[in-house]
């Protein structure tokens, strides 16, 4: 075990991190790949809580536009999708010998514990990976906000926002070849830029509670471990540049 830059970490994995580009559902290889990455930081001694998205199954906002159901119901469907992903992540982590607990913000007591803050902290102290499903339990927000909320509640040192790009760029690197990656950003730059990387509510909550955010490419093997060892990977977001 090396020296850790962060002891307690909340890692937000989007639903798209569990499937191949432009597909939906859960892909076995992607799931196993991300689990192997997670194992590297658990083995390093990090106390890890995961917040799992559900965009690979249902995005409430999109669904409500396509079919005639109330938006709130569509969002609840989205939250249930995150529970499905949480169970998949749990099983594959357990198959790697990692002790886990799923806690859901929506009661699904046959398959997961209810979210109980103090219990979640206890699991972390015992070295279990806690997987938060069900988002915040409330419609009209996203799992990014859930990640910021849980990070604040459990006293995390950092929020890792796993993405499929190398960080936050000055422009869309797919469209503009001169786009450059920001190594550092302040919360205010992030908020003023209305960046799509993470929703504003989440960033504001991190700012208010002093939780630094690291945005990095989770599809690149070894990145997660590099970040917890204190290497500068991706874009770091804090109160000031370099904080
Ligand atoms: N969702 C919600 N409340 C929450 C978290 C999620 O209503 O606290 C719903 C929302 O409809 C969202 C869907 O669940 O579109 C899936 O979550 P998200 O879009 O955050 O997943 P990701 O994009 O990270 O895969």
In a domain, 243, yes or no: no
For residue 208, the CA-to-ligand 1 centroid distance in Å is 22
Mutate to test the pocket of ligand 1, among 53, 77, 151 (most ligand atoms within 8 A of CB): 53
Domain limits at 48? 8-238
Asked if residue 90 is part of any domain, the answer here is: yes
Mean pLDDT for all residues in the chain: 96
In this structure, is residue 1 part of a structural domain? no
| Within a domain: 88 | yes
Predicted confidence at residue 123, as pLDDT, reads 98
- Within 10 angstroms of residue 88's Cβ, the number of other Cβ atoms is 17
Considering only residues 189 and 242, tell me which one the structure prediction assigns the higher pLDDT: 189
Number of domains in the chain: 1
Q: Which residues line ligand 1 (CB under 6 A)?
A: 14-16, 53-55, 59-61, 75, 78-79, 81-82, 135-136, 138-139, 141-143, 146
The reply to whether 14 falls in a domain is: yes
Terminal CA-CA length for the chain: 25
Instruction: Tell me the CATH number at 12.
Output: 3.40.1160.10
Evaluate whether residue 207 is within a structural domain.
yes
**Percentage above 70 pLDDT, the chain:** 99
Quick: pLDDT tens for 78-106. 999 999 999 999 999 999 999 999 999 99
48 assigned to some structural domain = yes
CB distance 128 to 103 below 8 Å: no
Backbone angles phi, psi at 7, to 5 degrees: -90, -50
Position 15 in a domain: yes
Band (pLDDT 50/70/90 cuts) for residue 48 is: very high
Split at pLDDT 50, 70, 90, the class of 51 is very high
What atom of ligand 1 comes closest to residue 140's alpha carbon?
Answer: 7
> Considering the entire predicted model, what is its pTM?
0.96
């Amino acid at each position: 075990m090396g020296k850790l830059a962060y002891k307690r970490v909340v890692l937000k994995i989007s639903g798209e991190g569990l499937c191949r580009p432009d597909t939906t559902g859960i892909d076995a290889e992607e799931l196993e790949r991300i689990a192997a990455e997670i194992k590297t930081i658990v083995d390093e001694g990090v106390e890890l809580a995961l917040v799992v998205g559900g965009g690979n199954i249902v995005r409430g906002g999109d669904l409500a536009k396509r079919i005639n159901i109330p938006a709130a119901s569509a969002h609840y469907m989205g939250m249930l999708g995150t529970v499905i992903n949480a169970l998949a992540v749990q099983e594959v982590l357990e198959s790697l010998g990692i002790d886990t607990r799923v806690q859901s913000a929506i009661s699904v007591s046959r398959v997961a514990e209810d979210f109980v803050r103090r219990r979640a902290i206890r699991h972390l102290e015992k070295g279990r990976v806690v997987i938060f499903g069900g988002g915040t339990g409330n419609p009209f927000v996203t799992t990014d906000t859930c990640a910021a909320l849980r990070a604040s509640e459990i006293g995390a040192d950092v929020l890792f926002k796993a993405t499929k790009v190398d960080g936050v760029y000055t422009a869309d690197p797919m469209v503009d070849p001169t786009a450059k990656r920001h190594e550092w950003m302040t919360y205010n730059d992030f908020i003023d830029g209305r960046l799509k990387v993470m929703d504003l509510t989440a960033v504001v909550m991190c700012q208010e509670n002093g939780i630094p955010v690291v945005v990095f490419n989770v599809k690149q093997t070894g990145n997660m471990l590099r970040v917890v060892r204190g290497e500068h990977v991706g874009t770091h977001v804090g109160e000031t540049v370099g904080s």
